[in-house]
Amino acid sequence: MVHIAIAVVLGVLIVTYVAQITIVNGSSMEKTLHNGDRLIIEKVSPRFGNIHRGDIVTIDDPEKIDKERSPIIKRVIGVEGDLVEINDGKVFVNQNELKEDYINGDNTLVVEENYSKVKVEAGCIYVLGDNRLPGASLDSRSIGQESIDKVNGKALLRFFPFNGFKLF
């Protein structure tokens, strides 16, 4: 009985502080991730501020995202101090155009004018879904930058479907 209790406690600690399985819900990260993909999300990096441009993260922010959609999974485009600008269908970080061969769609549309040119504040990130088709992604274009405190974890690998295995 003690062994079962120890195993349960260890399992809870691992899921809470180290890693967990997440199922992608929706199409906001297509072409990279698809509805139903299974990922392992590691939870250590966000606790130590180890989030970088290009990382795929899960965010849980009930003040900005309704409970049915939360948590969301997005790509980090800008980190603290970056100037992120969406102009003429392209994304620029610190005045350099991003080369985004992973996006679905040809253009990144402005959703809210207030969030189309943003200096990323301390302790925050600017995130976008890879699916840039109109209405396909709830991201920083419509909800603004996100606090790193709201980041649950960073995608480590996709293990299902098996033919789509990928380390991130």
Q: Which two tokens stand for residue 125?
A: 């990130």
Q: Which two tokens stand for residue 69?
A: 């959609």
137 is catalytic: no
C-alpha closest to that of 137 among 128, 147, 125, 146: 128
Q: Which two tokens stand for residue 41?
A: 């999300």
74 is catalytic: yes
Catalytic one of 43, 74, 150, 154: 74
Q: Which helix (H) or strand (E) holds 76?
A: strand 72-79
Q: From CA 25, how far away is CA 70, in angstroms rounded?
A: 10
Q: From CA 51, how far away is CA 136, in angstroms rounded?
A: 24
Catalytic one of 28, 43, 137, 150: 28
Q: Which residue has the tokens 């600690």?
A: 13
Which residues are catalytically annotated? 28, 74
